[in-house]
Structure 1
Amino acid sequence: MLNDRLRSARIFRGYTLQKTADTLNISLRALQKYESGDVDPSYDLLVQIADLFDVPTDFLLGRDDYLRSLGVSVDVPPEGPPRHPRPQKRR
């Protein structure tokens, strides 16, 4: 879920992968791994991501019920545009 929320917030706020990686001072490959769900960011980086995209960390973590209980709404859709399927490897 974190990976989809991260991607959705990035696209909704108009950031490219490279601009996001540069702003967060991480490698493009690291960001791609976060967005694919292969790796989760550290707590400190999660906070930086939330600050960059002006969303609560709870949104990124999928804690929608908790946010609603506080009366917090987020303008970023939970899911971004469809992903392009990965090409199949030839055998």
Structure 2
Amino acid sequence: MEIGSRLKALRKERKETQLQVAQAIGMGDRHYQRIENDEGLPGLEIFCALAEHFGVSLDYLAGRTDRREVAR
């Protein structure tokens, strides 16, 4: 699964718009749209902010695991 697909699914679960997610993590809405549409990859800072916003691990967001939990 691509990062964009995971982001879209997580966003829809929370009933948020692309604009709401972008604003919540301090990025432009068009940049977020490109990431969600798999037209580019987020930088490390944005990648971490997205994982934190959605409460999932970086590995889950990257599609490396299906476990959402963040290691503590």
- Scaled to the shorter chain, the TM-score interval is 0.7 to 0.9
Structure number with bigger Rg: 1
Structure 1 segments of 4+ aligned residues over 3 angstroms from their partners: none
- Find the aligned partners of 2:68 and 2:22 in 1 and give their Cα distance: 23
Percentage of pairs with the same residue: 25
**Equivalence for 2:68:** 74
Could you list the runs of 5+ residues in structure 2 that have no partner in the other structure? Answer: none
Q: CA RMSD in A?
A: 1.6
- Find the aligned partners of 2:42 and 2:19 in 1 and give their Cα distance: 17
Instruction: From the two aligned structures, give the one with the greater helix fraction.
Output: 2
**Equivalence for 2:28:** 27
- Find the aligned partners of 1:36 and 1:12 in 2 and give their Cα distance: 17
Q: Shift in Å at residue 14 of structure 1? A: 2.0
Q: Which has the higher contact order (CA 8 A, sep 6+)?
A: 1
- Find the aligned partners of 1:74 and 1:29 in 2 and give their Cα distance: 26
**Equivalence for 2:15:** 14
Normalising to structure 1: TM-score of the pair? 0.68
Q: Shift in Å at residue 12 of structure 1? A: 1.0
Q: Deviations over 1:26-75 (max 9, x none)?
A: 111101100110110001111100000001110111111xx6xxxxx338
Normalising to structure 2: TM-score of the pair? 0.85
**Equivalence for 1:5:** 6
- Find the aligned partners of 1:30 and 1:4 in 2 and give their Cα distance: 15
Q: Which amino acid aligns with 1:3?
A: G
